[in-house]
Amino acid sequence: MGIKSTGREKVLDEGVETGIYDIGGGKIELLESVKSDSAIQKFMDKKGEGIHHVCLKVDDVYNAIAELKEKGISVIYQTPKKGAEGFLVTFIHPRDSGGVLVELAQET
């Protein structure tokens, strides 16, 4: 199928280990909780295995946050955090995105 692993990485601030796979024109990131109180573990305890979030790559996460705030859309991190692969990330709150957690990620 042409799917290639680009490696694994621990993101300790989020309490996860990631496995990232290049699918040509996009990526799939599989998450594993490494902390019993991580957001991913809480999600799995409540909903079981499945899709946790969708990620959109943006050119400027700070600008994206400002634009969303102007439109009354809540983000989880007002100041972006370092995520997998060194990306700066924030998330659109699910209550403002139809129940779907949406990550915004800027390559650094």
pLDDT 10s digits, 44-74: 999 999 889 999 999 999 999 999 999 999 9
Domain ranges of the chain: 1-50, 52-108
Please count the residues of the chain.
Answer: 108
Task: Tell me the pLDDT tens digit for each residue of 30-48.
Answer: 999 999 999 999 999 999 9
Backbone angles phi, psi at 22, to 5 degrees: -85, 125
* H, E, C per residue of the chain: CCCEEEEEEEECCCCEEEEEEECCCCEEEEEEECCCCCHHHHHHHHHCCCCCEEEEECCCHHHHHHHHHHCCCCECCCCCEECHHHCEEEEECHHHCCCCEEEEEECC
CATH tag, 1-50: 3.10.180.10
Fold match between 1-50 and 52-108? yes
The model scores a pTM over 0.85: no
Q: Is the CATH number 3.90.800.10 carried by domain 52-108?
A: no
